[in-house]
Amino acid sequence: MAEYIPSTAEWVRDQVELYESSGGTQGTTLRETGLPCIIVTNRGQRTGGIRKTPLMRMKDGDNYVLVGSRGGAPTNPSWVYNLRAHQDVEVRDATEVYAMRVREVEPGAERDRLWELSVAAFPPYADYQERTKRLIPVFLAEPA
């Protein structure tokens, strides 16, 4: 089994540790937003190590919508490249853990619908897209 490689960002390490050590009963909101979050566990594209990332919890039926906003930064968050390389993930949603497979949603009607759903859940996403020249990636995590 691959080794877990904690994030270099202290807040990410702390959130993942609290979320997982409590069995999903604590740390279930994303930082100062107060909005629900999930933990996505995946393999690193270069290291093959286990990575864990807290992301906004946005559901579309049984699926989860994952938005690579990085606050409108000019580059994608590293987890985007990991998901492009390794599509099998685990999603921890509070006390439940699901084996899922992700796919990047290409521009078009499906992405437009998921983007609108995402902006409705977290309006700052619209501002983030305006701040950056890149098209913010949207992934859909579906039951494996």
Tens digits of residue pLDDT in 6-49 = 999 999 999 999 999 999 999 999 887 889 999 999 999 999 99
CB 58 within 8 A of CB 121: yes
pLDDT beyond 90 at 106: yes
pTM recorded for the entire structure: 0.95
pLDDT beyond 90 at 86: yes
pLDDT of residue 32: 79
* Residue ranges of domains in the chain, CATH in brackets: 10-143 (2.30.110.10)
What CA–CA distance (Å, rounded) separates 86 from 84?
Answer: 6
**Which structure tokens are listed for 134?**
């890149």
- The DSSP symbol for 9 reads S
pLDDT of residue 57: 96
